[in-house]
Amino acid sequence: MMTAKEYASLVEREDFVPAQNRDLGIDKVYSAQSFWKDALGRFVKNRGAVFGLVMIVLIVVMAFAGPTLSGYDYRTQDMSQRNLPPHIAGWESAPIFSGVYTQYVNGEPIRSNVYTQKGIEDVTHIFGTDALGRDQFARTWTGTRVSLYVALVAILIDTFVGMSFGLVSGYYGGKLDFFLQRIVEILSTIPTTVIVTLLIVVMKPGLTSITVALMITEWIGMSRVTRAQTLRLKEREFVLASRTLGESTFSIIFREILPNIFGQIIVMCMMTIPNAIFTEAFLAFIGLGIPAPLASLGSLISDGFKSMTMYPFLVLFPVTVLALLMLSFNLMADGLRDAFDPKMKEM
């Protein structure tokens, strides 16, 4: 017969503890969560992606509010205030916006407050002025609008042209796919710079020619990704079931295939934006961008580069805004990729 001491030792080992008092390792039932809510949760946990999104919002706000806040028009010239360093009235003790500029006379550096010398201590030029006395703050944020316009155009082109081209080519296949892919190969071999140069011959240089150039070549990457995903999905069981039940081709493409590749399309759009922004900046830098007096980040960098050794602030601020804009879109694209396909993060 078991003694009390032996029974107590068994209880301590949980061999004879009632089931309602023991953790039997039963699986817990969690509340159902939609794909989009789950992706949003992963995106919010990605600090880099959240930082990129916040920076994009701030840059968009400043692009539309910045020129108004400066109190100057980006076209207004004042030759009496040309090449002024950054200055904010009342911030003379600040290291950047004090208005102090180092000039070299006979090889000797001389630091002086240009605003005090000119008697304009109450004048504010946050980013300074260019060689024509135009406010760089207003021109920088006006130029940012051009970059954001190019980003919007890239999204629209990718969404409507590239996505449609890839869906049709991948779903129908056969001779149509062969013909469409030969068009893609021909267009992909032509550099964007050559296309813009040819367009300028028949069109005026500006946003119109850049937009047309982007419409010719920018959608190629999106079409290839969409086609590859469509080829992978069109033989899946749910697509074959829809086809067997008599669903139309339009319904199968836009109700069965498209929702399953929408995540990849969004990521591809985000990754295309920095490339489009850089393309516009590069074209403006080599003189194929928008004409004066309009400004873009590329044209501002090009103008500031010519006098970078004398007035480095003319190129510093446009480069910083352009770098932040491209970095933010890249960080956001990486965050979206990890949110929609967490397995990619492990690769």
Question: For residue 104, what are the β-bridge partners?
Answer: 109
Using DSSP's 3-state secondary structure scheme, residue 237 falls into helix
Q: CB within 8 A of 243, min separation 6: which ones?
A: 252
Residues 233-268 as b or e (16 or more Cβ within 10 Å = b)? bbeeeebeebeeeeeeeeebbeebbbeebebbbbbb
Question: For residue 112, what are the β-bridge partners?
Answer: 101
CA pair distance 143, 299, nearest whole angstrom: 8
Nearest to 212 by CA among 271, 153, 142: 153
Using DSSP's 3-state secondary structure scheme, residue 110 falls into strand
Using DSSP's 3-state secondary structure scheme, residue 315 falls into helix
CA pair distance 196, 203, nearest whole angstrom: 10
**What pLDDT does 165 receive?**
87
CA pair distance 44, 52, nearest whole angstrom: 11
Neighbours of 344 (CB within 10 A): 11
Using DSSP's 3-state secondary structure scheme, residue 83 falls into coil
**What pLDDT does 109 receive?**
66
**What pLDDT does 106 receive?**
61
CA pair distance 150, 39, nearest whole angstrom: 27
**What pLDDT does 30 receive?**
53
Residues 317, 136: contact at Cβ < 8 Å?
A: yes
Nearest to 158 by CA among 210, 226, 254, 222: 222
Residues 322, 140: contact at Cβ < 8 Å?
A: no
**What pLDDT does 61 receive?**
92
CA pair distance 274, 138, nearest whole angstrom: 23
pLDDT along the chain (347 residues), means of 10: 60 56 55 71 86 91 86 82 82 75 65 78 84 87 86 82 87 88 86 76 76 81 87 85 84 83 79 79 74 80 81 86 87 82 54
CA pair distance 233, 120, nearest whole angstrom: 67
**What pLDDT does 347 receive?**
46
Q: Which ranges of the chain does DSSP label H, i.e. alpha helix?
A: 4-12, 35-45, 47-70, 114-118, 136-156, 163-172, 174-188, 192-202, 207-217, 220-233, 237-244, 249-251, 258-285, 297-306, 313-340
Residues 111, 128: contact at Cβ < 8 Å?
A: no
The overall pTM is greater than 0.85: no
